[in-house]
Structure 1
Amino acid sequence: MYKLAKGSAVKARTQAINQLKAVLVAADPNLREELAGLNNAELFRACARFADDSKNGRNDEGGEEAVLQATRMTLCLLAHRIEQLTEQIEDLERRLTRLVERHAPQLLTVVGIGPDTAVTLLITMGDNPERLHSEASFAALCGVSPVERSSGTRQYRRLNRGGDRQANAALHRIVQTRLRFDPRTRD
């Protein structure tokens, strides 16, 4: 359930970030210039402070000033939404890490396996315990086992296109990380 909630929060935060940046593209050039050159964290903090400006005696006026004020308020609301979603994601990550540490701490000692990939593999294994009899059955479950093919006279193997795609992606991330950081894997 935590993984589901985290995935939803990550998706919503990405959408909010994209919306904030889209508002900036269409914003007043002076406002864009004011926020230019900021990294994401600085940009979100600057936009979150726009609420203070609207509370300090700036009233709705007509014309371009009203559009500018509406833009600043929209940026502020989106920045606050991003901040809230980031806090939710961090809380869910802590909870997932504690669960992995409690139920399968040996996974976290392996190079390339972090809490996210460990949780994904544990979910796959927990959803299909009756299918896990060997390493080969785990590979088939994750869609990383070769499949024998024949064209009559020629035998060959192709990649398994079945299996749990999330577990497959987690194994791919583990391999890529190990190739970068683990000398034994590189050798």
Structure 2
Amino acid sequence: MDRKAIYYTLIGAVPFGGSSISSFMVSRYLRDFTETLRYLPLTIGICLLTTFLITYNYLQSYVAEILVAVAVAPFIIGYVFSSVYENIKVNVSEYYIEVIFKVPVGELKFDNPSEMFNYLFSRSLKKIRPPYYQKLKVLNNCGNLRVVPRENEIVLRKKCGDTQIEIIVRGKRNVDMKVTMSY
């Protein structure tokens, strides 16, 4: 678990809107809904407790409605704000298919380019659906990793047969993955 995301979950101690604010902050930081789901139980639990204490003492007739809103809103907010980062583009020509999309990541801190490629590749496989998933799943163990440093980016390339995977890292949080495969 990430320390900064845990700090964002502690915002859930604010009654009524704390879970929603915390869900927004965590989803904006992690940029992935499945990763955000790991932090929501703690956030919702803390916010339900503080909200229940205040609501039970001052607004007893609205306890159930307020608690349901506090428990459901973080899931909706987390999904909406993390779906902003899911951009997939498919280009088709006569000879090949090119799939380009942004990989939702937090801050990247890796010493080894191979570890970074494996991490980004596994994160990107979560976003790919059949029929491409089965073909790309076996490519992680195939071919050598080529690292091409440029002025503002690092390009990680792996080629296996007629399929080429290219991960372009710009800064700490902007990652694009391009997969080119023939028919």
Higher percent of residues as strand: 2
TM-score (norm 2): 0.27
Larger radius of gyration: 1
